[in-house]
Amino acid sequence: MRKPIIVGNWKMNKNNAETKAFFEAVDGVAASENATYGIGCPFTDLRTALDHAKNLVVAAENCHFEDSGAFTGEVSVPMLEEMGVKYCIIGHSERREMFGDTDETVNKKAKRLIKAGITPILCVGETEADYDAGNSEKVIREELAGSLADLCPKCVGEMVIAYEPIWAIGTGKSASVEIAENCCKIVRDQVKAMYGEEAAEKVCIQYGGSVKPNNIVEYMAQPDIDGALIGGASLKEDSFTEIIEKTK
Ligand code: PGA
């Protein structure tokens, strides 16, 4: 039985004061035995988030795969580990599109995180052009083939994979429940093809892309959707609280 996991992705939003206020308002609501709730926040907010999180789990939004060295502006996995971070988003489409992340670097990040005992939340998803051309399945399978290469079946079973169609991110144009379920099922099938039935049954698969309080319940009701990665609706205390209350 997979435990659902719903994680907010703040992207480049909120300072420390805002982080503290958010956690003071929302953390108490996130106490649940049935689901895990969390927030991915900027590196500069991680300390404040971790200090105020009793129920919410805290995720970094990126990491570097090397432990140290001449990588100006980057943050390594051991640095996150030292802080007590337990989750890290990798391969978000914004990082793939704007900051040069590739399946190869995402794969290196996944390997380093797993070694540190930090759970990767690995994002995949097709562009609007790929969607229109009917290439969603091909893109999902290719991204997973590269990003999940050379891992162990047990490690993959313990990961979180987020399917996020790029055309649905921040657009308000969420994928239909059928599309979301179908693509999350493709993710699970690709995990099965690479790492076997047990890993595929265990791995938590999130849908992401314009998830809101008014559509979260129908996504969560799908057999292959085990959670959500939520951008815009995770920024407001009231909408993220509503999402938690509707799913816990
Ligand atoms: P959105 O973002 O919920 O604002 O569409 C999702 C994401 O980028 O993870």
In whole angstroms, give the CA distance from residue 226 to residue 100. Answer: 28
Q: Which of 210, 212, 215, 234 to mutate to test the pocket of ligand 1 (most atoms within 8 A of CB)?
A: 210
Q: What is the pLDDT of residues 128-170, one digit of tens each?
A: 999 999 999 999 999 999 999 999 999 999 999 999 999 999 9
Task: Return mean pLDDT, the chain.
Answer: 98
Q: Which two tokens stand for residue 112?
A: 């380093």
Find the 171 Cα to ligand 1 centroid distance in Å: 8
Q: Which residue shows structure tokens 């129920």?
A: 55
Q: Which atom of ligand 1 lies nearest, measured to the CA of 229? A: 9
In whole angstroms, give the CA distance from residue 113 to residue 215. Answer: 31
In whole angstroms, give the CA distance from residue 59 to residue 74. Answer: 16
Whether 240 and 233 have beta carbons less than 8 Å apart is answered as: yes
Q: Does the beta carbon of 136 lie inside 6 Å of ligand 1?
A: no
Find the 223 Cα to ligand 1 centroid distance in Å: 21
Q: Which residues contact 193 (CB under 8 A, 6 or more apart)?
A: none
pTM here is 0.98
pLDDT recorded at residue 29: 98
Q: Which two tokens stand for residue 106?
A: 């995402």
Atom 6 of ligand 1, residue of closest alpha carbon: 231
Cα of 129 vs its chain's centroid, Å: 23
When pLDDT is averaged across residues 102-130 and rounded to a whole number, the result is 98
Whether 148 and 104 have beta carbons less than 8 Å apart is answered as: no
52 part of the active site: no
Q: Is the pLDDT of residue 200 over 90?
A: yes
In whole angstroms, give the CA distance from residue 198 to residue 202. Answer: 6
In whole angstroms, give the CA distance from residue 201 to residue 189. Answer: 10
Q: Which of 11, 128, 230, 243 to mutate to test the pocket of ligand 1 (most atoms within 8 A of CB)?
A: 230
How sure is the predictor about 1, in pLDDT bands with cuts at 50, 70 and 90?
confident
Q: What is the pLDDT of residues 27-58, one digit of tens each?
A: 999 999 999 999 999 999 999 999 999 999 99
Nearest to 163 by CA among 244, 232, 91, 212: 91
Q: What is the pLDDT of residues 89-105, one digit of tens each?
A: 999 999 999 999 999 99
DSSP output for 173-233? -PPPHHHHHHHHHHHHHHHHHHH-HHHHHH-EEEEESS--TTTHHHHHTSTT--EEEESGG
When pLDDT is averaged across residues 107-122 and rounded to a whole number, the result is 98
Find the 140 Cα to ligand 1 centroid distance in Å: 18
Q: Which residues contact 100 (CB under 8 A, 6 or more apart)?
A: none
Q: Residue 7: what are its φ and ψ, rounded to 5°?
A: -125, 130
Catalytic residue (one of 64, 92, 94, 126): 92
How sure is the predictor about 78, in pLDDT bands with cuts at 50, 70 and 90?
very high
64 part of the active site: no
Q: Which two tokens stand for residue 101?
A: 């992340």
Q: Which two tokens stand for residue 153?
A: 């079946």
Percent of the chain predicted with pLDDT > 70: 100
